[in-house]
Amino acid sequence: MCGMCGFIELSPIAAAHGGMDAVLKQMTDQMVHRGPDSNGVWTDAQAGIALGHRRLAIVDLSPEGHQPMHSASQRYVVAFNGEIYNFQEIREELNRLNTGVNWRGHSDTEIMLAAIEQWGVEQSLARFTGMFAFALWDKQCKELVLARDRLGEKPLYYGWQKGSLIFGSELKSLKAYPNFENEIDRDALSLFLRHNNVPAPYSIYKGIYKLPAGHFLRFSLTEPNQYHIDEPQAYWQLSDAVTTGKASPFMGTDGEAVDALDTHLRDAISKQMLADVPLGAFLSGGTDSSTIVALMQSLADQPVRTFSIGFHEEGFDEAIYARQIAKHLGTKHTELYVTPQDALETIPSLPAVYDEPFSDASQIPTILVSKMAREHVTVALSGDAGDELFAGYDHYFRSKGLWDKLSRFPLPLRKLAAKALTTVPISTWDRMISVLEKTGRVPEALRHGRAGDRLYKVAKLFRESDAIGINRQLLSHWHDPENVVIGSKEPTCIRQRSQLEGLDHISQMMYTDTLNFLADDILVKVDRAAMSNSLETRVPFLDHNVVEFAWRLPLSQKIRDGESKWLLKQVMYQYLPKEMMERPKMGFYLPIDEWLRSDLRDWAEALLDQDRLKEEGYLNPEPIRKKWDEHLSGKRNWQFPLWDVLMFQAWLEENR
């Protein structure tokens, strides 16, 4: 795991700023946290190409793993971030082919380059099992290739700035390029307020994009100072895995399914446990992380290092369960209890850690557990993606239940009802329901105030045409971000609909969550939090063999008798007592709602000041101040939309 960056310039911009090497060093210096072990730069002034790298040494700690690295023939040079987990298998295959490679070391980067020399970029990408983002320069063809792993574990930004192509693992590196144009994309900001992240392919800056997961992109020098740019090409798509899974479903018994999933996970975990540095795992105490840790311990010849976060607030602490699991498995366990002061001290670092607005509040404990883990290990495995693959989220069932009820009525009739509901002002509904409430004839859902607001939310659900739309509304933080972000028009998220016929509603939501919530929230949260502490994280559930197998499974083996993640739990019960795991799901959550009314109130009030919002000119103060006042009074819990605004404001303060 490392950080990489670079640029192609068609005019000599760098020359006016100390030269290409100097500019490149400025860019790599912004990512020391991603690679504290060494720094490398490579440039070709004639072609205008520059590649930079910061190294966190994980496999082959010797200088032979230094980057940017040249292939054996010297044709290719690469700056690579990530890990190729099946590099040993690829090396053996290359040896069998008698390619004549004289191996200098044993790093996965060297083997990756040899594979590309043998099979080319696209075929090699299909062979790689891993998490990665890389920039590869082909000296012979004068061509740059940017590529990203299948599910988007590793980040890769790119874009044109004043005639130069710039790219890298983090925006802060791109911003170090001379005369970076830091114009905020207001449309992307509106997406952020809905989703609490800026989804790919967008970024918070105009003209800068995220390469979609499972894609590669070619830039070819066709003549002096002129490049041909291809559209991003997919070498792997989740839709193909789903289609193949439907065409060739798993037909075995429940017992055979348990054995098969166990085998796939053990294979993925055994590969991801390979490292030349200390390795451990996050353990929240839930199904996913407990399964990963249990399998790790069964494969290890010594106690696995495990790390957990706890909270003193009642109802939020899952550390006690993680402690019990660690004791049962025999891991070497470390835990940290988070206080409001810990959160307060972490908040100032969030804009720098996440580079662009990001407001999943579990970012705070993730940073803290990563910091704690880094004191003991350099690599940590996590249980992320189990919910998306095995139907673990509660909102799948809420969305389906609502859709089952709403779909009984034709869409035109629902739209007519929505129009009727929203024709009456919210304040009028509040007064009417308040009067009717005294008669006892009002449904429980409309009692206790703010009935009009609830009816308007119901009206939004009436207008949706499928369960995915219902799910989107339930998960949206701001339902009308265009009214909050001044001068914006919310883009249509190109990955919002699965476009797959024949999938049941829950499978469709699992599909869209994998492409959206997992890629743009969960994986971003973990990567940035861990790498800010120079910690590599690995996600065994995202081995593409595990993903493809999961999509072959019938829904009845994921959900049974109302129990989610049924098959995964059967694997887990082979290693852990069932009674130890039968409890509600919690995870890494923070009592932000309480803290905003107490410890974080002054900090939040300063960022949400009405005059400040007006002066900055990005956000409409009226709806924000209304939610803030209601939250402080205790009438409503607006922690999620308020945290979105606070994270943008904190980011803006750092980056304006």
pTM: predicted TM-score of the whole model, two decimal places: 0.93
Q: CA neighbours within 13 Å on the CB side: how many for 517?
A: 21
Which residues, 6+ apart, have CB-to-CB distance to 61 below 8 Å? 276, 277
- What are the residue ranges of CATH 3.60.20.10 in the chain? 2-236
Over residues 245-283, the pLDDT tens digits come to 999 999 999 999 999 999 999 999 999 999 999 999 999
Q: Give the E-state strand segments of 16-122 in sequence order.
A: 38-44, 49-55, 69-70, 76-84
CA atoms of 57 and 327, how far apart (whole Å): 31
Question: CB-side exposure of 284: number of CA atoms within 13 Å?
Answer: 19
* Local confidence band at 496 (pLDDT 50, 70, 90 cut-offs): very low
Check: CATH 3.30.429.10 for 240-385+507-581?
no
CA distances from 628 to 246, 409, 429, 457, 636 (A): 47, 37, 22, 19, 9
pLDDT confidence tier of residue 443, bands split at 50, 70 and 90: low
Cα dist from 135 to 47, 111, 156, 258, 368, whole Å: 15, 16, 9, 39, 31
Which tens digit of pLDDT belongs to each residue from 363-377?
A: 999 999 999 999 999
Q: What is the pLDDT of residue 634?
A: 86
pLDDT at 173: 97
Residues of the chain with CATH 3.40.50.620: 240-385+507-581
Share of the chain above pLDDT 90, in %: 70
**Which CATH code is given to the segment(s) 2-236?**
3.60.20.10
Query: Rounded to an integer, what distance in angstroms lies between the CA atom of residue 200 and that of residue 210?
Result: 5
C-alpha neighbours within 13 Å on the C-beta side of residue 124: 25
R_g over Cα of the chain: 25
Segment among 240-249, 274-283, 403-412, 430-439 with least mean pLDDT: 430-439
Strands (E), 225-296: 226-229, 233-234, 279-282
Of 246, 516, 537, nearest to 371 by C-alpha is: 537
Cα–Cα distance measured from residue 208 to residue 561, given in angstroms and rounded to the nearest whole number: 47
The pLDDT value recorded for residue 366 is: 94
pLDDT higher than threshold 70 for residue 316? no
Peptide bond into 201 cis (omega under 30): yes
Q: What is the DSSP letter of 309?
A: E
